[in-house]
Amino acid sequence: MADRSPDEREWVSPPESFVERANVTAADRDALREAGWPECWKRPADLLDWDRRFDAVLDEGDENDADDANDADDERTTRWFPGGRLNASYNCVDRHVEEGRGEETAVTWEGKLGETRTYSYRELAEEVNAFAAALRELGVEEDDVVTLYLPMIPELPVAMLACARIGAPHSVVFAGFSADALATRLEGADSQYLVTCDGYYRRGAALDLKRRADNACVSADHEVEQVVVNRLDDDRSVGDHYAYADLVAANEGAEVEPVSRETDDLLFFIYTSGTTGEPTLVRHTTGGYLTHVAWTSHAVLDLGPDDTHWCSADVGWITGHSYAVYGPLALGANTVLYEGTSDSPETDRVWEIIERNGVDVFYTAPTSIRAFMKWGEQHPESHDLSSLRLLGTVGEPIDATAWHWYRDHVGDGECPIVDTWWQTETGGMVLSTLPGADRMRPGAVGKSLPGIETAVVDETGHRVEEGESGQLVVTRPWPGMARSLCEGTDWGARRTRRIDGEWQYATGDNAVRDEEGYLHLLGRADDVLKVSDRRLSTTEIESAIVGVDGVAEAAVVVGDDEEALADPEIHAFVSPESNVAGDDALRERVGAAVEEAIGRVASPDVVTFAPSLPKTRSGKVVRRYLAAIANGEDLGDTSALRNPEVVGELESLLDR
Ligand code: WTA
C-alpha cells in the first residue's frame, strides 16, 4: 500500500465549462483590482436594492480624532456606505417576488425524520410578514434584540428575516447550547424576547429545548417573553408563552413595511464559536455585512437565482448566517437546510440529499470531509452527483489529501473547489480563489479577495518575507467587518492597531505567503509549536500525517516540560479510518511521512491512536484539551465540547 503524497505545490485549473459561465471572470477580477480600494466595493453594493443610495463608499473618519497617527489607539470611526439606507428582509425576500420569481423555491428543508418542506419566495414573504407583525404586537421595537434558540428548522430563517424586517437585531444561539449558555447570551445581548421550540431530534432522541429555555429565562437577570415553535407535536410545552403557529395564523395576510435601516445599523448579534477561548459577542451591520455576503456568494460561491445551494453549517454559527441564509437569499437562490446529521439514518445521507435536490453548490467543513473519507468513497460514488458544479470548504485548513478526495469522489474530478478563509469577526469570506478566474493550489486558500488587503507580519506588525510564517493581518477595512472593529483601534479588545500609520486587524491565525502570493494557513497563532528554535505549525505536521493511507484525522500538541533543555515532546493524536488498526506499522508510517514532509525535528515522539478527537460544537478540534491530556493536566470544564466522552477515553488510553 503506497502512501499518497499529493504534491502541495501542484496547480489545478478550473474546467472551461465552469469558466465560461462564471459570475466573475478574470477580466472582472482585474477590473476590480484596477478600480482599487475602496472604490471596487461599489459593484458589490449594486447587488443590493438601497432605499437611499449611499453618499460615498467609505468614510474612514477624521484623522484629527487620532491622538497620534503612529502606533497609537485612535478613535476614528469607519463607516461603510455612509448615507445609504436599506432593509435586509426586503433584499432577501420581497424584491424577488416583485421581480416575478415568487413561485421559485427559496428554502428547501430536509427534516431529521425524512420529512421535507419547501417555501417559495412568495410563501417565505407571507410567513416573514406575518411573524414580523406578531413580533410587533408582542412589543418588539426597532433596535430591541430578539434571541432565537432554534434547531435547523425553517422557522429559524423566517424569524431572522422577520426581525430584520422590523429593524430588531437577532441573536441566534446554537440549539445545542445549555440553559446556562443561553442565559449568558440573553443577558449579554440584553434581550427580552426569545423564540424557541418545544424540542427537536438529535441522534434518535427527542430533546426538550423548551425546558432548557425555561431554565435560562429563570436564571436571566430580566423578564423574557417567549414564543415557542411546535416541532415535536407532543404538547410538552407548558408555562407562559405564545405559540408560534397561533401568532402566524392570527397575522395571516399582514403586510409589514420593511423598516429602512441606516447602513451601519445592526442586523444581528452573534457569539464567536469559542475555538480558542471564551466566546465573545460580535455585532454585524446591515449594509456592510449584507453587501459582503451577497457579493462573496455571487463571486466565490458563484450563486444566482437558478442555483440550489447547500451550506451544511448550522445556522447557529456565522457560516450558516452568511451562506445558508443572507447570502443565497439576497441573490434569489434556493437554500437547503438540513436538520439531521450526516450519518443518519445511513452514512450516505448527504449524497442522497444532494442527488434528490439537484444541489449545484455544496459548501462544507474539512472535518465533515474527513468523516466522509473515513466512511468511504463508495457512498458518494453510489449516487448521481452530476448536478454539482462547485464545491467549497471553510472552518479549518484542508490538507491536499482531503482536497483531492473531495474533488475526485464528490466533484467527479472536475468541480472547482473554493477553500474560503474567514471568521465570525469578518462577517464573510476574506481569502479564497475566484472559481471562474483563478487557479487552485491544494493546501493553499488563495489570495485576498479583490477589495481586501492582507499581510503576514511578525510580532512587531512588520511584514515578513515571502515563504516565512507570521500572523495574518487585514490591512484595510472591509464591508463585512464586525461593528466593534469600526469603532477606533484598540489592540486589546478589538485586535486593531496602527503600525506606522497603517491600520491592521490581527486575525490570530498564522500563515505563509508563497511565491505566487497564495496564502497557506498554519492554524491559530496559539497552536504553533516551537521546536529547536523552529516554529512548526500544527497544520503542517497534521497534513503530513493525514496523507498516510488509513489515517482519517490527526491533531498535534506539544509537551510543556519547561525544565527540558532539549526539545519538548511532540505528541500526535491520530484517528485511523474505521477498518484500519492503530498498530506499530501505522505508527512507523506516520513518523516517516512527517520526516519526509518537514524533517526529523517535526517527527512525533508519541503517537496515540484515538477513536475520535475532542471537538467544539462547530466541529473544530480543540487542541488545548489534547495538550492537557498529553501533559497529564487537569482539563477543567469540558462543556464546550460536542463529544466530552472522548476526553475520558483518551485519558484512559494514556493511563493518566
Ligand atoms: C479557522 C468560521 C484554515 C481560522 C467561518 C479562523 C480556517 C477560524 C479557514 C474562525 C480556512 C476558517 N482555512 N482555517 N479556510 N476558515 N478557519 O469564527 O482559524 O467559527 O480564525 O468562523 O476558523 O472560526 P469562526
Query: What is the grid cell recorded at 391?
Result: 464545491
Give 436's Cβ-side CA count (13 Å radius): 21
Lowest mean pLDDT across 419-428, 534-543, 590-599: 534-543
- pLDDT reading at 309 higher than 80: yes
Q: pLDDT confidence of 635, banded at 50, 70, 90?
A: confident
Question: Measuring CA to CA, how many Å separate 295 from each of 20, 189, 639?
Answer: 19, 28, 36
Whole-prediction pTM value? Answer: 0.87
Residues lining ligand 1, Cβ inside 6 A: 272-273, 275, 317-319, 394-397, 419-424, 445, 507-509, 521, 524, 618
In a domain, residue 563? The reply is yes
Last-in-domain residue among 305, 340, 375: 340
Strands annotated E in 442-483:
447-448, 454-457, 469-474
262 and 118 in a single domain? The answer is yes
Give 468's Cβ-side CA count (13 Å radius): 12
Average pLDDT over residues 121-139: 98
Residue nearest to atom 20 of ligand 1 (CA): 273
Residue nearest to atom 11 of ligand 1 (CA): 421
In a domain, residue 433? The reply is no
Angle at 284 between CA 279 and CA 285, to 5 degrees: 170
The DSSP code sequence of 200-231 is EEETTEEE-HHHHHHHHHHHSSS--EEEEE-S
Boundaries of domain holding 469: 453-524
Measure the CA–CA gap between 573 and 557, rounded to whole angstroms.
8
Q: Which pLDDT score, from 0 to 100, does residue 564 have?
A: 45
Q: pLDDT confidence of 530, banded at 50, 70, 90?
A: low
180 and 195 in a single domain? The answer is yes
List pLDDT tens digits, range 437-483: 999 999 999 999 999 999 999 999 999 999 999 999 999 999 999 99
Last-in-domain residue among 313, 340, 367: 340
Q: Which pLDDT score, from 0 to 100, does residue 329 have?
A: 98
645 and 503 in a single domain? The answer is no
Distance 319 CA to ligand 1 centre (A): 10
Q: Look-up: residue for cell 527540558? A: 564
Which of 394, 406, 512, 621 maximizes ligand 1 atoms within 8 Å of its Cβ, making it the mutation to test the pocket?
A: 394
What value does the mean pLDDT of the chain take? Answer: 90
Ramachandran angles phi, psi of 408, nearest 5°: -70, -45
Measure the CA–CA gap between 105 and 491, rounded to whole angstroms.
45
> Domain containing 470 — which CATH number?
2.30.38.10
The total of structural domains in the chain comes to 3
Ramachandran angles phi, psi of 600, nearest 5°: -60, -35
In a domain, residue 14? The reply is no
Distance 394 CA to ligand 1 centre (A): 6
Task: Decide if 538 contacts 335 (C-beta within 8 A).
Answer: no
Distance 620 CA to ligand 1 centre (A): 9
Distance 523 CA to ligand 1 centre (A): 9
Q: What is the DSSP letter of 25?
A: -
To 10 degrees, what angle do helices 209-219 and 179-188 make?
50
Which of 509, 615, 616, 617 maximizes ligand 1 atoms within 8 Å of its Cβ, making it the mutation to test the pocket?
A: 509
State the DSSP H helix or E strand holding residue 586, giving kind and residue range, or none if neither. helix 584-597
Amino acid identity of 649?
Answer: E
Measure the CA–CA gap between 254 and 248, rounded to whole angstroms.
9
* Contacts of 157 by beta carbon, 8 Å cutoff, 6+ apart: 107, 315, 324, 325, 329, 335, 337
In a domain, residue 384? The reply is no
Among the atoms of ligand 1, which is closest to the Cα of residue 419? 15
Measure the CA–CA gap between 433 and 446, rounded to whole angstroms.
5
> Domain containing 272 — which CATH number?
3.40.50.12780
Question: Measuring CA to CA, how many Å separate 5 from each of 113, 523, 571, 594, 609?
Answer: 40, 21, 22, 11, 21
Residue nearest to atom 7 of ligand 1 (CA): 396
List pLDDT tens digits, range 203-258: 777 888 999 999 999 988 889 999 999 999 866 556 679 999 999 999 999 999 99
91 and 208 in a single domain? The answer is yes
590 and 637 in a single domain? The answer is yes
Beta strands at 146-148 and 519-524: parallel, antiparallel or unpaired? unpaired
H helices present in 301-392, as ranges: 318-320, 327-330, 349-357, 366-375, 378-381
503 and 587 in a single domain? The answer is no
Which of 275, 297, 317, 512 maximizes ligand 1 atoms within 8 Å of its Cβ, making it the mutation to test the pocket?
A: 275
Average pLDDT over residues 297-322: 97
Please, what sign has the CA dihedral across residues 187, 189, 192, 193?
A: negative
330 and 479 in a single domain? The answer is no
518 and 556 in a single domain? The answer is no
Distance 132 CA to ligand 1 centre (A): 33
State the DSSP H helix or E strand holding residue 318, giving kind and residue range, or none if neither. helix 318-320
498 and 645 in a single domain? The answer is no
Task: Decide if 536 contacts 527 (C-beta within 8 A).
Answer: no
Lowest mean pLDDT across 69-83, 90-104, 221-235, 495-509: 69-83
In a domain, residue 396? The reply is no
Residue nearest to atom 6 of ligand 1 (CA): 423
Q: What is the DSSP letter of 446?
A: B
Distance 275 CA to ligand 1 centre (A): 9
Last-in-domain residue among 322, 340, 358: 340
Query: What is the grid cell recorded at 605?
Result: 515522539
Residue nearest to atom 12 of ligand 1 (CA): 395
258 and 126 in a single domain? The answer is yes
531 and 520 in a single domain? The answer is no
Distance 208 CA to ligand 1 centre (A): 31
Distance 46 CA to ligand 1 centre (A): 28
The 10 Å Cβ neighbour count of residue 533 is: 7
> Domain containing 547 — which CATH number?
3.30.300.30
List pLDDT tens digits, range 537-568: 777 788 889 889 999 889 998 776 554 445 66
Residue nearest to atom 10 of ligand 1 (CA): 423
- pLDDT reading at 8 higher than 50: yes
In a domain, residue 381? The reply is no
Percent residues over pLDDT 70 in the chain? 92
Q: Which pLDDT score, from 0 to 100, does residue 274 have?
A: 58
Among the atoms of ligand 1, which is closest to the Cα of residue 432? 15
461 and 324 in a single domain? The answer is no
Q: pLDDT confidence of 5, banded at 50, 70, 90?
A: very low
Residues in the chain: 656
Measure the CA–CA gap between 37 and 54, rounded to whole angstroms.
17
In a domain, residue 505? The reply is yes
In a domain, residue 21? The reply is no
Residue nearest to atom 24 of ligand 1 (CA): 423
Measure the CA–CA gap between 203 and 108, rounded to whole angstroms.
21
* Contacts of 422 by beta carbon, 8 Å cutoff, 6+ apart: 394, 428, 429, 430, 431
Distance 395 CA to ligand 1 centre (A): 4
